[in-house]
Copies of this chain bind each other. A is one copy, B any other.
Amino acid sequence: MSKGDQTRTAILERAVDLASQLGLTGLTIGALADAMHLSKSGLFAHFRSKETLQIQVLEHAAARFTAMVVQPALRQPRGEPRMQALLDGWLAWDTSEALSGGCLFAQAAGELDDRPGPVRERLVALQRAWVDVIAESVRKGIAAGAFRADADPEQFAQDMYGVMLAFHHASRLLGDIQAEPRARRSFGALLAASQSR
């Protein structure tokens, strides 16, 4: 990486963390400059607008999510081991210390669901891509004979999303220490219902 790229990556790392605390819509060039003790004009030269900064933060977080959650899972065998790896990685992501405010996407989803514009469009595209990774992994499991032929990949993806969102809600908002064991049990039941034997 060139020096410029390194600087940019360092700024985006910090911006992802800050967005997880402030909310994505609260992440402005000014707020980031304050948090990093940098000049607002210097940051403005990198990002040009709040929307560009927010979109690049989403893309940077998505690349990290892919490296941390998706890629390791795709190295697992199709069927249950791969789905379990997706869940384990997702849980690790949601409780990762690099995101002190919790999953940026879960938070941005609530903030942006009623705010049309380029930031929301990018978030939707990234979230659809992630739902597709889950559904496609179920499809691969069906093709490999690990899951029932009549398992519904899109239903599984929505249900798995529900397991994670409920975990996030119970653990982060309600502070319920049983949230994770319950999420793992729910996911186990989902997997069991999809298995071919």
A interface residues, Cβ below 8 angstroms from B: 20-21, 23, 25, 100-102, 106-107, 109-114, 123-124, 127-128, 131, 154-155, 158-159, 161-167, 169-170, 172-176, 178-179, 182-183, 185-186, 189, 193
Contact = CB atoms under 8 A, between A and B. Distances in A.
Chain copies in the assembled complex: 2
Contacts of A173: 109, 112-113, 123-124, 127
Contacts of A175: 124
Contacts of A155: 182, 185-186
Nearest to A20: B114
Given A158-B179, A162-B186, A186-B159, A113 B170 contact: no
Contacts of A114: 20-21, 100-102, 172
A176 B185 CA distance: 27
A90 to B, nearest CB: 13
A110 B101 CA distance: 10
Given A113-B173, A114-B102, A173-B112, A178 B165 contact: no
Given A110-B110, A111-B23, A189-B193, A182 B158 contact: yes
